[in-house]
Amino acid sequence: METTMQNISIEKTEKTKIDQVDFDNLAFGSVFTDHMLVCDYRNGAWEVPQIMPYQAISLEPSAKIFHYGQSIFEGMKAYKDADEKIWLFRPLENHKRLNISAKRMAIPELPEEFFMDGLKQLIKLDENWIPKKEGSALYIRPFIFATGKGFHASPADEYKFIICLAPSGPYFSGKVKVLIEEKYSRSANGGVGFAKAGGNYAGQFFPTQLAVKKGYQQVIWTDDHNHEFIEEAGAMNIFVRINDTLITAPISDRILDGITRKSILPIAEDEGITTEVRKITVGEVVEAAKNGSLKEMFGAGTAAVISPIATFGYREVDYDLPELESSFASRLKKRIIDIQYNRAEDLFGWRHGV
């Protein structure tokens, strides 16, 4: 065992699995690196994190995660530039949001140094796993779940924080076709839609499966009351371009405060693109599609960065979006990726060296 300045113990794997990986043909989030970070919450405090070989974990059937769903997570990426330097993109925002989710789900908040020091040391240990192919990156999944035992419907007294790493290719490939949802809701006022809680995503799977059977890849979520306002695109924030104005919904109890979303807005401003953060109705989008003023729709999130929408369906009618030579989506995606890979000046101070 080795000990670092932060007293994080490190147990290295006896044999790496890296030679078994085809880095030119990576799926998203299905191959995992040699090591993981684990930190337990017991007796009212977070214990010193440990880095160990990637392995299965053991839980008792009475662990509260199985019964009451106390589980939250984050999504991040690490990148290597042309000089082999490693970079993160706005990692402190991920830590901040993890604790916002933790508070809402009655999970103990995690100290920043445990998150950042543990993350950096884990990435350094597995840095050879960071893909170099354009469009690929090392996906990072920090998560916390309840391990405390008991069938009583109350918060657990023990938790586990884990970070796993997955070299990954693009999240989406090809054109994305989405369906505007009118029956099911992703979240409700006063609920947990703004938190990255596992149950939010589990609740999306069934309506998404129904959409897939109809030939769509994802669902456009609308508000829980009248299904009048567009809110999110699958597991991403959504942007709509009408003429030359880029519009996105304001964050709320129902809408996740996406880090890519909050990065797009200042970049768009710097690009001279007019932006509006306001509610946008389904009717406005449909009318814009009919009269030709709807130029673009795209999802924004860590996994896909920016995912253009080619077609949306609403009430049995499909509306195709125009194919633009120079789209806002491509311009904004390039700006973000160039910052992430250290290929451009970081005007906003978002890039974080490892």
pTM: 0.94
pLDDT at res. 6: 58
Both 140 and 229 in one domain: the answer is no
Both 187 and 161 in one domain: the answer is no
Give the C-alpha distances (Å, rounded to integers) separating 51 from 38, 42, 48, 168, 354: 6, 18, 10, 21, 17
pLDDT at res. 260: 96
Q: What is the 3-state secondary structure (H, E, C) of 135-201?
A: CCEEEEEEEEEECCECCCCCCCCCEEEEEEEEEECCCCCCCEEEEECCCCCCCCCCCCCCCCEHHHH
Q: For position 217, which CATH number holds?
A: 3.20.10.10
In a domain, 351, yes or no: no
Q: Which domain holds residue 333?
A: 176-340
Please say which residue of 168, 195, 230 terminates a domain. Answer: 168
End-to-end CA distance of the chain: 22
How far is residue 270's CA from residue 267's CA, in Å, rounded to a whole number?
Answer: 5
How far is residue 329's CA from residue 267's CA, in Å, rounded to a whole number?
Answer: 12
pLDDT at res. 344: 95
How far is residue 196's CA from residue 213's CA, in Å, rounded to a whole number?
Answer: 27
Beta bridge partners of 36: 52
Both 143 and 184 in one domain: the answer is no
Both 18 and 131 in one domain: the answer is yes
Q: What is the DSSP letter of 211?
A: H
Both 197 and 153 in one domain: the answer is no
pLDDT at res. 4: 45
Beta strand 294-301 with 159-168 is unpaired
- Count of domains for the chain: 2
List the chain residues with pLDDT less than 50: 1-5
Please say which residue of 117, 146, 168 terminates a domain. Answer: 168
How far is residue 281's CA from residue 238's CA, in Å, rounded to a whole number?
Answer: 13
Please say which residue of 168, 200, 219 terminates a domain. Answer: 168
pLDDT at res. 3: 39
